Structure 1
Amino acid sequence: MDRIFNTATSKQHRARNKRVSPDKLEHILNSIPHVIWSSGPNGQLDFVSNQWTTSFGGDPTEMIGDGWINAVHPEDRDDAVASWMMALEKKSLYQNEFRLKMPSGEYRWVLIKAKPELGRDGQVQHWLGTCTDVHDRIAAQRALAEKERLHRSVLEASADCIKILSLDGRLQLMNRPGLQLMEVPDFSVLSGSFWWDMWPTAMRATVKAAFRDASAGETVRFSGYCPTASAKPKWWDVVVTSIRDEDGAITGVLSISRDSTADREKSDELRWASEHDALTALPNRRAFHNRLRAAVLRSMQNGTKVGLLLIDIDHFKHVNDTLGHAAGDTLLKEFSRRLKHSLRSTDFICRIGGDEFAIIAEEIGSSSDLLMVGETASMAFRAPLRLQGRALCAGASSGGAIFPDDADCANDLFKLADTALYALKAEGRGGTKLFHSYMREEAQRAASQLNLARLAVTDASVRPHYQPKIRLSTGEIAGFEALLRWEHPTQGLQLPETIEEAFKDYELASKIGSLMHAKVMSDLHSWRRCDVNFGRISINASPAEFLRDDYAERLLETLATRGLPPTCLEIEITEHVLMAQGSKYVSRALAALKNAGITIALDDFGTGHSSLSHLRDFPVDVVKIDKSFVKQMTLDPQIVAIVTAVINLAKSLQIESVAEGVETKDQADLLLAAGCGLAQGFLIGPAISSDSITTWIAGRAAA
């Protein structure tokens, strides 16, 4: 015992050794309720406390001189030795659990801890340690593990996806078949996450409700859609129930999900066949009426509008009579294909019989939106179709109505759209005609918009948004188009279409224009102070804004007040501006702006009646190719030829060309090949607020 304590080198330890006798120290060690031992550096025991007898039996003195490693169970010995040698090498604390041979000959699990005592040379002189019996704990752990292995084997044998959840809804376990069904490589990526976060947003309320009921002791069953980790569509039948312990207390929740995708797909196939036209694969008349009633109901609930267009193929009977029904079927299928590819993804297109089609357009803003849908449908049919070796040029006529503007219910909406189609045919086929109550209803609509504009459009409500333009050849930012947005006090941010009548009124148009100018100039000033390279900003001008005959002067004064160069600005006008009342004021204003360094852009080029003369008579620097042409470029080679001709004409006149409404890379590639200089549209970026410009430009530069 003297040798154990004499290795201490500090004065404090030496002083303590003088004060406490070896017998006293041995008595203290034997009184500690743990087995205390010491050994030489290689594990040769030189002291074992009497607690050995209390804990394990036998005489502790019989172990003196033995290496304790020799008493370790053969299966545990390699690990015990390896960890001992590592502690010896690092001169660090040793700790390990293993089976140790008892005086009775049996093996028991013990926890060994030892601390090295270092000599003056820094080497281990002694080990001072404890030995604690942990046999019962290890046995219990192993029994529990065996029980868990049994349970897991049952789980792994199931073909269903089985999950165990904690009482707060977190995933604690998921069987391997379930992981395979969900295409999850390892449970670690899900462990601890909330169960409902695995589900799509639309399903989470249902899943949370089922979990709440199950955690309260109920058994709940529901069906739902949840794709796999690789986005493979899956439908599931799910049973959720509580897990209870031996005392009946709820300790968790069990979820069993069975893959019902195959059954669902069979059911969907039958339903699809009952609701679709076999020839065109479009929804049929039955599906149309169901969808129309549902759309009207959603409109009533959400306060939105639903537009309905009924379409007839012009002279379809003549095609059947002259070319045969097979040719007529081909025409119907091609018309269906073009409709599906040209209209918005939200538009519901169906064949309601013969050569009759219908389009349900939900959440439209106004009748002009529905007319645009009708025009798009007509344009989809203008390209010739080759039938039996000959080119067939067919047309379509459409009549429309809007809920709730025109009708009070779905049935009336259908009747009014049919009435509008009949009226169009009576006047001559082609185009789109919407149902209306003539001047009274038109005046009410106009008055409503003007009143809304007077009440709502103020300095505080105008919110310019900016749509980026880029150079197609390099991708660099060329500038932005400032677009009017205004904040409705209860309905949020609004598009200019909501107050379009205001732009025909001199006072209101001038007020809105002045507000837009002030806001845009303020934004330009802020960006320049922050060294934001925003290029050139274009602003739209309506015809009424020029009637005061000081448009140019007011705009240049606003620029000067902010210290902005005219070269950072571009004014966009349409051909309607050039032909409207007061065109002489327009001509004078454009000339003044041009001389000051502001560029002039002719918007919607090619959609008017006198585009070429406008290029000759007005100081136009830029022509903007209308988005209706851009949209058709990938569908119609003739449109590509028209757009190319416009671009070449602009080049010959040293006028830059800008394509609007570029939404796909294919459109951008065709425009670049045609020599178009600039482009804007959702492919490049949507209109964004002024606060987002700096971030957008930085992100574009980083990309």
Structure 2
Amino acid sequence: MMFALSRGTITPWQIVALLPVLALATYWAWGEGALVGLAALLPPAVLAYGLVLRRTAPLSASDQVTQRLDWTLSDIAAKGGATGCLVIQFDNAAHLVDRVGRTRQCEVLAASIARLRGALRPGDMLYPMEDGSLAVALGATPRLDAEIMVRIAARLQLVAQQPVSLADGPTQVSCSIGFCHAQQLRHPGGRALLDAAQIAAEEAARHLPGAIRGYSDELARARADRDALRAGFSQAVDRGEIQAWFQPQLSTDSGEVSGLEALVRWQHPERGLLAPGSFLPAIEGSELMELLGQTMLAQACAALDELDRCGLRVPTVAVNFSAQELRDPQLADRLRWTLDRFKLAPSRLTVEVLESVVAGDGDEVIAANISRIAAMGCGVDLDDFGTGNASITAIRRFALNRLKIDRSFVSGVDVNRDQEKLVTAILSLAERLGLETLAEGVETPAEHALLAQLGCGHVQGYVVAKPMPVGDLVRWLTAHRDRQRAAIRIGVRAR
């Protein structure tokens, strides 16, 4: 029995859908006995046909790599040798899409694949993966260890990172590579070898640009730990374990609290209090980042509302948003809705944008969103300024209100003349661009005093206060207000 048509192959489910028509035609043509025979023969025929389709269906890229590595491992078991797997990830693939569209990304990827295939040894195979990365399954080789794998990875990286000539000029790409050789695994198999190389590639991607990392059991445990945190994050939000803590910001002119920064903490039931660095890598790039942003925004606005009711009004609270969230076309509407919910003016909210986001040759969607947010009346801070290589043009293109000077420039500014020169230059640039300034990571009174003397408008850091939950913040603000009032009374003559 043939089930092939000119436009494709009929699936078993399509056959099942045609059963009533087929049964009726059989009954009219040959009678009730033929119908009974059809009922007996058709189910196993459909099942067998489904199995044939399954066997002949094209393999996914991951399955192809796995199959190739399994074949190589079997050959090595009989003849000796060694093999390994590498996974290549392009560091700026998203940047290519943002700037010029997917067509150019495909052109760059195709050129890189052609070059890499030309650089492989006979027996090595390269496979484009579903996520845009590339996997290399090494053919059997007499000897293979971590040092040789590093040399192979470095050679492939050198080939991949050569400029690609396109119609509108050369384009530079960079890539990170993770690898694993079979001897590292207790139970080597094609799937296990590919998974190990992908774990190493994820670690390499965390240390951009152009990092190379080898697999280790520690990396596997770290990935399992991240997977566990990711799996439990949504439930942690529902249970109230994800909390906004707040760090005060002071005006260097008046000494009064000029704002707060909301910083996330996870009160984990088993691991205790987790700082952002412990769990943010586990949720980056997923929809959980949007859930985190919504949670932090709601808690920050709720904190301002509570402080207002306590008579401890703070002008503004700053909330960090990732590039992923800043690309959401509904972000401005969501901010407006949340502010209305707590009856807060837009000026009470400051949105923090990492300099690395602004420095990435500019994302038009992000720029448009920031413009909408600024037009609402919210403040916009450029966070970690000095670390992301943002150009003056990029800074001017985004609707910014304030530069946050990164702590790497602030540390030791009172004793390091070079640090002082850098901070002075940043302050001068901000003044000329009409932007306010805030120094973060200020830890000593001497740093605080010099920053005020140099003209930095606001400071934030341990010299002021550590991040704290809102209950502790109420007590801290009350004590700070009392200290300010006492300081004002000093030297006032009684009448």
- TM, length-normalised to structure 2: 0.52
Determine the structure 2 residue equivalent to 1:683.
463
Name the structure 2 match of 1:606.
386
Whole-angstrom distance in 1 between the partners of 2:272 and 2:284? 24
The one-letter code matched in structure 2 to 1:614 is A
**Distance (Å, rounded) in 2 between the aligned partners of 1:671 and 1:578:** 25
3-state SS, counterpart of residue 411 of structure 2: helix
Kept in 2, the 8 Å contact 1:446–1:501? The answer is no
The answer (yes or no) to whether the contact 1:468–1:685 under 8 Å persists in 2 is: yes
Spell out, residue by residue over 1:589-626, the C-alpha distance to the aligned partner (whole angstroms, 9 max, x if none): 11111011100000110111224233211011000010
Q: CA offsets per residue over residues 437-482 of structure 1, 9 Å max, x none?
A: 3498657634532430330341311111000000112211101100
Q: Which of the residues 468, 472, 480 maps onto 1:692?
A: 472
Measured in 1, the distance between the counterparts of 2:416 and 2:446 equals 13
> What is the root-mean-square deviation of aligned Cα atoms in Å?
2.8
Contact 1:466 1:690 in 2 (8 A): yes
Question: 1:632 corresponds to which residue?
Answer: 412
SS in 1 for 2:395: helix
In structure 2, which of residues 209, 213, 237 is the aligned counterpart of residue 458 of structure 1? 237
Instruction: Give, as a single letter, the amino acid of the residue that structure 2 aligns with 1:452.
Output: L
2:352 and 2:259 mapped to 1: Cα distance?
13
1:497-576 to 2 correspondences below 5 Å: 497-576=277-356
Letter in 2 for 1:621: N
Change (3 A) 1:581 1:465: farther
Residue 488 of structure 1 is matched in structure 2 by 268
Instruction: Work out whether residues 547 and 582 of structure 1, in 8 Å CA contact, stay in contact via their aligned partners in 2.
Output: no
Contact 2:379-2:401 within 8 A present in 1 as well:
yes
SS in 1 for 2:243: coil
Letter in 2 for 1:557: W
Q: How far does residue 559 in structure 1 lie from its aligned partner after superposition?
A: 0.8
What is the aligned counterpart of 1:585 among 337, 354, 365?
365
Larger Rg: 1
SS of residue matched to 1:697:
helix
Matched with 1:387 is none
Is residue 2:403 matched to residue 1:623? yes
Higher strand fraction (1 or 2): 1
Code of the aligned partner of 1:470: L
Residue by residue over 1:34-64, the C-alpha shift from the partner in whole angstroms, topping out at 9 and shown as x without a partner, is xxxxxxxxxxxxxxxxxxxxxxxxxxxxxxx
Residue 254 of structure 2: which of 446, 469, 474 is its match?
474
Question: Using the alignment, how far apart are the partners of 1:434 and 1:574 within structure 2?
Answer: 22
| 1:520 shift after superposition | 1.5
CA contact (8 A) 2:361 2:394 kept: no
Contact 2:327 2:369 in 1 (8 A): no
Secondary structure of the residue aligned to 1:464 is strand
Unpaired runs of 5+ in structure 1? 1-432
What do residues 168-223 of structure 1 show as CA deviations (whole Å, max 9, x unaligned)? Answer: xxxxxxxxxxxxxxxxxxxxxxxxxxxxxxxxxxxxxxxxxxxxxxxxxxxxxxxx
How do 1:290-309 and structure 2 match up within 5 A? none
Q: Distance in 1 between matches of 2:335 and 2:481?
A: 31
TM-score w.r.t. the length of structure 1 is: 0.37
Distance (Å, rounded) in 2 between the aligned partners of 1:467 and 1:438: 38
User: Aligned pair in 2 of structure 1 residues 695, 661: CA closer, same or farther (>3 Å)?
Assistant: same
Q: Distance in 2 between matches of 1:640 and 1:656?
A: 18
Amino acid at match of 2:454: A
Q: Does the C-alpha gap of structure 1 residues 446 and 614 become closer, same or farther in structure 2, counting only changes over 3 Å?
A: farther
Matching of residue 437 in structure 1 with residue 437 in structure 2: no
State the number of aligned residues. 274
SS at match of 2:463: coil
Contact 1:466–1:687 under 8 Å retained in 2: yes
* Correspondences of 1:11-90 after superposition (within 5 Å): none
Normalized per residue, which structure has more helix? 2
Q: 2:359, 2:394 within 8 Å by CA — same for their partners in 1? A: no
List runs of 5+ in structure 2 lacking aligned partners.
Answer: 1-209, 484-495
The aligned residue for residue 433 of structure 2 is: 653
One-letter amino acid of the structure 1 residue matched with residue 405 of structure 2: I
- Bigger RCO of structures 1 and 2 (CA < 8 A, at least 6 apart): 2
Work out the CA distance in 1 between the residues paired with 2:473 and 2:400: 28
Cα distance in 2 for residues equivalent to 1:501 and 1:481:
21
CA contact (8 A) 1:546 1:582 kept: no
- Report the CA distance shift for 1:438/1:690 in structure 2 as closer, same or farther (over 3 A): same
Contact 1:454 1:508 in 2 (8 A): no
2:332–2:369 Cα contact (<8 Å) kept: yes
Change (3 A) 1:503 1:674: farther
Tell me how far 1:434 sits from its aligned partner. Answer: 11
**AA in 2 matched with 1:551:** L
Q: Distance in 2 between matches of 1:454 and 1:517?
A: 22
Matched position secondary structure for 1:578: helix
Query: Offset of 1:661 from its aligned partner?
Result: 0.6
- CA positional deviation for 1:666: 1.1
1:232 match: none
Whole-angstrom distance in 2 between the partners of 1:571 and 1:625: 16
TM alignment of 1:408-423, pairs within 5 A: none
Distance across 2 between alignment mates of 1:646 and 1:592: 27
Task: Return the offset for 1:495.
Answer: 0.6
1: CA distance, partners of 2:460 / 2:242: 23
